[in-house]
Copies of this chain bind each other. A is one copy, B any other.
């Protein structure tokens, strides 16, 4: 094999880029598969929008009906319902109807934990 021993003394077999084949092999062995990566990204995406994050945080404090949430968020009902729908589809929240009102609450024990670790990160980085 030609093209060996470049890139700071490590092995290289790539066509036009210098790479560390040993490191790559190591990473490939430990890589998450595509569907896991996509699902995980979708999960974290839920926490990546201020509106949804405020909803999740509020629901971690108490069960709330939609109009409570609209008032709390200062947003119109449609926008809130849209975000609730997204969170519902991600199975992060659940709901129950009581008369005309629909009450939302968390449906996942990891939500509090995730937000906690995130907040710890913020604290430690000023």
Contacts and interface: CB of A to CB of B under 8 A. Distances in A.
Interface of A: 7-8, 14, 17-20, 23-24, 26-28, 30-32, 36-50, 53-54, 57-58, 61-62, 64-65, 67-68, 70-72, 91, 98-99, 101, 108, 110, 113-115, 117-122, 125
Most chain B beta-carbon contacts within 10 A, residue among A17, A19, A44, A68: A44
Contacts of A14: 67, 71
Contacts of A119: 36, 40
List the number of copies, as a whole number.
Answer: 2
A119 B31 CA distance: 13
Contact of A48 (B41, B91, B98): B41
